[in-house]
Amino acid sequence: MLLGALLDAGLELDTLRSGLSRLAADGYQLDAQPGARGAVQGIQLSVNLDEEGRRRRDWSEFLTLIEKCDLSNAVKSRATGVFKALMDGEAKAHRTGDAHHRPHELATVDTLVDVVGVIYGLEQLGVDRIHCSAFPAGKGTVKTQHGVLPVPALATIEIFATANAPLRTMGPDFPDGETVTPTGAALLTQIASFEPTVMNIERVGYGLGGRDTPGHPNVIALWLGSANESGVAQDTGTGLVLLETNIDDMSGELFGYVQERLFESGARDVWMTPIQMKKNRPGVLLSALVDKSAANEATQLILRETSTLGVRVRDVERVLADREELAIATTLGDVRVKVKRLSGVVLDVSPEYEACKDIARREGLPLQDVMRQVREEARKELG
């Protein structure tokens, strides 16, 4: 469906075929057909397999094909990250503890075509960042090689959990069935951000799924456009609230506990500021940034867990730089990084602390050197 949406948004089928031919993988044919699901017109792309295409491969073969192809380093790095997310999701789903076991439903060449095709197609369309809405959970069950499983499938929900991806449940009138496959989940959690954005829409493409369910168009929409002129996005979620209170009669360890509890309840940020209060007493300004929907719960928590008699509540708005998280292949290993952009230009790259700490301990290197090297290699790869 993602490939169909790319084609409907302007990617040429011959361009897609040419890019995938660099993988040196045979056994499939691409067939793109216009069609409709309900009132929505779009493209359905099928990956038709012959006997070679249906041959079951292991993870290492997929990764080797990606490593040896002459696609760009960015495409190869992202595709490798997607496959590692699939490997990890499958291992967790089947409780094997071995991310290198043989894949099951994902073992045929169409998995490789889906992953590399989507990433290559986005590159060809000049897409430098992707924003995704919350995943639809689906409902009911799905038939697999392991028998009937609940929806989302086991590997899919493990991928969601690892990425801390947003998920929305379906209403009672939604038809039964799987709405996100493990491959789709791994792709979007690896290449997309779930932060809200502001953009000017230029083109729209619709990818059609195989099912045609009356009343529920089985499509995925791809919106292509440019960031707003300022290059920043206003937070367009449910709204944010700033909670503040002045405290001068509470021990220091209790502030740490309150901060932990506020973060556990979903606060976006919590901080303490030294202040001077009446009668020259030193005090602390406790501040918490929370979603408006969680403001009452957070306020009650502060009133219960601190000595304050009142909490100030103010609506606030945020202006955001564009952000995304990526898995980058470096000479020290694969490391997730946060990328900050303004008007499409990469301003900063921040390596994930825990991953760099593990590398520093394993290689016996100073942590600051590891983080500097990862940042430099990531900046070079991202341009």
Q: What is the CATH number of the domain that holds 356?
A: 3.10.20.300
Indicate if 45 and 122 belong to the same structural domain. Answer: yes
DSSP state of 200: E
- H-type alpha helices, the chain: 2-8, 13-21, 59-68, 73-93, 109-124, 154-163, 182-191, 252-264, 295-305, 353-363, 367-382
Q: H/E element holding 345?
A: strand 345-351
Distance between CA atoms of residues 20 and 65, nearest Å: 11
Judged by DSSP in three states, 176 sits in coil
71-115 tens-digit pLDDT: 998 899 999 999 999 999 988 888 876 655 667 778 899 999 999
Indicate if 218 and 330 belong to the same structural domain. Answer: no
Residues 6+ apart with CB under 8 A from 31: 45, 46, 48
Indicate if 106 and 169 belong to the same structural domain. Answer: yes
Query: Tokens at residue 33, please?
Result: 């057909």
Indicate if 328 and 303 belong to the same structural domain. Answer: no
The dihedral built from the CA positions of residue 182, 186, 187 and 188, taken in this order, carries a sign that is: positive
Residue 331 backbone phi and psi in degrees, to 5:
-70, -15
Indicate if 30 and 76 belong to the same structural domain. Answer: yes
pTM over cut 0.75 = no
Exposure on the CB side of residue 88, measured as CA atoms within 13 A: 17
State which of 283, 317, 351 marks the end of a domain.
Answer: 317
Indicate if 368 and 268 belong to the same structural domain. Answer: no
Average pLDDT for residues 298-326, to the nearest whole number? 89
Bridge-partner residues for 350, per DSSP?
338
User: What residue numbers bound the domain in which 213 lies?
Assistant: 2-227
Q: Which of 285, 286, 289 is nearest to 240 (CA)?
A: 289
Highest averaged pLDDT of the listed ranges 37-46, 84-93, 346-355 = 37-46
Average pLDDT for residues 360-367, to the nearest whole number? 94
178-193 tens-digit pLDDT: 999 999 999 999 999 8
Cβ–Cβ < 8 Å for 78, 121: no
Does 234 map to a domain?
no
